[in-house]
Structures are given as structure tokens and as C-alpha cells.
Amino acid sequence: MNLLVFFLALAVYLVLTPSAHAHVEGSQAVGFITGLQHPWSGIDHVLAMIAVGLWGAQLGNPAIWVLPITFPLVMSFGAMMGLLGIPLPGIEIGIAVSAILLGVMVLGEVKPKLIIAAIMVGVFAIFHGHAHGTELPAGQSGLLYSMGFVIATGILHGIGISIGLIHRWPTGKLVLRGAGAFIAAMGFFFLWQAVV
Amino acid sequence: MLGVAFSAALLKPANAAAHLVTTGMGPVYDGIGHLLLTPEDLVPTLAVALYAGLRGRAPGRRALFFFPLAWLIGGFIGLAANTLPTFPVSAFSFLLVGILIAADLRLPDNAFTVLAIAVGIMHGFFNGIALKAGPGGLGLLGIISALFVLVAIVSAFVVSLKPPWTRIAVRVAGSWVAAMGLLMIGWFFRGQG
């Protein structure tokens, strides 16, 4: 009881405490925050990352952990291509198609061989990395930005996997398939935006 | 071609421009603060500790002693050196150790010890160069102390992990570290490292 009162008091104190404005974040420190925020700024990226987690949860072991391990590595490879100036044609279309296909996989509970699923996710990761990993504002730390960007992408996968755990219940399976349909539909919208 | 470019980047010297942490509590604490607040050193340290933990008790114990010792030796060499390469060499320790963790590759114990020594000497060397402008040898001692404690805590924690998913979480963290290493190399060539 005493502990509860303590934490309540602490919560009230933290809520009411004004933020300190004395130390403004410098450009280097902001790099991490920028990287952490960036993946959330594009709904196409968010949906595709969550779809990877959902699909991994549907596929079960070992895909549930192979896909989130594969994705950041290949995504950073795509980002490195972008940073080195190696062009990748049709990036926006690739990202839209990733949402469509990953959504369809979740919708249909498609269970291909692990290697096929890993390659598919890996190919899409290159497009996402190329598009999103290279947008570092001037003056910010590349390493801190990269840390934030990779961690945020991992968190999105974690959210997808956590949601995907409802797959163990019959109703949960239906909800997941509905989510897959939504992601695929959004993918078609992104594709329309990319093409038009 | 790529090898020549790497060699050129490594050989091209630059002034040591590392920003040392000043705690106001003396050189030892400055060294501790440097390790804890410098991701270029902190992340590979944690990665080596994670990998040591994944490998088990005996390799973990080896890493606990050889890694800080190598860092210390590298630091003393760095204190006598003058220039830093412009290429972010630490990216290779991110990449290499990150991939080893992500793939959960079982290196032989001796190979792992060599790896820990190599990473330790390299980071210690760069620390040594940076510390010349500030806390010097005492700062290096602070770094080594913090390093020993960090490796001990993290590797022991990973050794103690029993549920299978926890080992997977460590591997996911390794893939993040490797991804950061790849991006560091990319930022360098982009000129924004």
C-alpha cells in the first residue's frame, strides 16, 4: 500500500514537473532521437514492419526470430547502398509491393519454406533500408541516427510479433487475417500513390 | 579496388578530435564517463560481453580478463601515438561481433579469445590517442575499470539466461549491432560519419 502511494505521488510529481529548458539538445544528441522517430514517420514502413512481425508469429518457430534477425541486417545493407549512391529503381513501388505481399501472406496464413520467407523479407528490407536509412539531417551523428533507426525498426517488429501472439486463439487468427487484409489494402493505396 | 580504398582511408591520418567527457570529478571518472557515454566504444563492449555470455562460462571468464587487458595495452600504445585514421574502424567490431551474435556462431574458445583481444586492442588504441588531450593514463584506468564491471555483469547475465526466447533476444540485439556497423561504414563514405 505504501509503495502504491509512493508511486502515485511520484507519478503526480513527474506529470506536474515542468520540463527543463536550460540544456537544449545539440545536433549530435538529436541524431538518436531523429533515428528513433524516423521509422514511425512513414505509415508504409510502419505497416510493413508490423506485417513482418505478424507473419513471423503466424509462421511460428524458427521464423518468428529468423525474420526479425534477418530484416535489420539486410535493411542496413539497403541503406548502405543508398549511402554509397548505388541507385535502386522503383523504391516506392517496392515498398508498396512489400506491404501488399506481406499483407497477403498474413491474410492467407501462407507458410512457405523458411528460406523463401527469409529471402522475401530480405528483398523488401533492401527497399525499406534504401528509402529510410539515408535521411540523416545535416550535422547529426550518423552512428546515433543509425542506432535510433535500427532500434525503432526492431520495436516495430516486436509490436508485430506481440500482436501476432493472439494467433493461438481461433478469434485471434481471424483478427490477424483481417489485419493482413488491411495492410494489403493499404499497400495497394501506396502503390497507387507511387504510380500516379 | 575496395581493399585499396580501405587501405587509403586507414592510412590517411587525421587529428584526434574525439570529444572527451568531463565529469568534473577527476580523470578516472572522466574515463568511466567516456566509456559509458561513447557509443563507438560502449556498443562493441556490450556486444563482446553478450557474445561471451552466449558462449558460456569458460569463454566468458576468458573475455572478462583478456578483453580489458588488451584494451589497456592498446590504450598505452595509443597514448604514445599521434594520429587517428579517418575511417571508422570501430565499425568492423560492430559488424563482426554483431554477426557472430546474430548467427550464434560457435567460435572455438581460442579464436574467441583472439577476437576479444583484437577488439580490445583496437578500441583501446583509439581511446589512448583521444585520452592524450585530457585525462591520460588515469582516464584509461577509469575506462578499464568500467569495462571490467560491464563485461562481468552483462556476460554473467547472459550466461544465466535459461528460457530459449531470451537467447533469441540476445541474437536480435546482435543483428542490430551488425546493422549499425554496416550503416557506420555507409555514413563514412557519405561523408556524414
CA-CA distance, B43 to A53, in Å (whole number)?
A: 25
Over 50: is that where the pLDDT of A76 sits?
yes
B141 close to B85: Cβ distance less than 8 angstroms: no
Do residue B176 and residue A72 have CB atoms under 8 angstroms apart? yes
- Position B12 in a domain: no
Which residues of chain B are under the pLDDT cut of 70?
1-24, 84-86, 192-193
ipTM surpasses 0.85: no
Residue ranges making up the domain that contains B66: 21-190
Per-residue pLDDT at A29 = 63
Question: What sign does the CA torsion over B40, B42, B45, B46 have?
Answer: negative
> What is the rounded distance in angstroms from the CA atom of residue B185 to the CA atom of residue A8?
47
Q: Specify the number of domains making up chain B.
A: 1
Confidence at residue A175, expressed as pLDDT on a 0 to 100 scale = 92
Contact flag A146-B183 (C-beta cutoff 8 Å): yes
In this complex, do A83 and B175 lie within 8 Å of one another by their Cβ atoms?
no
- Using CB atoms, pick whichever of A69, A76, A154 lies closest to residue B183: A76
Decide if A156 is inside a domain: yes
Residue pLDDT, tens place only, A18-70: 555 454 445 556 778 888 888 888 888 889 889 988 898 888 878 787 887 88
Q: How many CB pairs under 8 A join A and B?
A: 86
| Interchain CB distance below 8 Å, B182 and A149 | no
| Residue A23 counted as domain residue | no
For range A150-160, the mean pLDDT: 88
Whether residues B190 and A142 touch (CB distance < 8 A) is answered with yes
For position A177, what pLDDT does the model report?
A: 92
- Residue in B99, B168, B184 closest to A146 by CB: B184
Average pLDDT over residues A147-165: 87
Q: Which domain holds residue A103?
A: 30-195
Q: What is the pLDDT of residue B52?
A: 93
Nearest CA in chain B to A133: B183
Asked, for residue B5, whether it belongs to a domain, the answer is no
Q: Which residue has the higher pLDDT, A135 or B184?
A: B184
Residue-wise pLDDT for A85-96, tens only, equals 888 888 889 999
Residue A60 lies in a domain: yes
Q: Is residue B3 part of a domain?
A: no
Domains identified in chain A, total number: 1
Query: Model confidence over B6-30: pLDDT tens digits?
Result: 455 444 444 444 456 666 677 888 8
Q: Kindly give the residue spans of alpha helices, DSSP state H, lying in A60-108.
A: 63-83, 91-107
Q: How confident is the model at residue A191 (pLDDT cuts 50, 70, 90)?
A: very high
**Amino acid sitting at position A100:** I
In a domain, A35, yes or no: yes
| pLDDT on residue B193 | 59
Site from B170, B175, B188, B190 to mutate, A interface, most A CB atoms within 10 angstroms: B175
Contact A83, B190 (CB under 8 A): yes
User: Taking Cα atoms as reference points, which of B88, B140, B151 lies closest to residue B116?
Assistant: B151
Identify whether A17 is part of a domain.
no
The answer to whether residue B8 is domain-embedded is no
The CA–CA distances, whole Å, from B112 to B38, B61, B69 equal 24, 12, 15
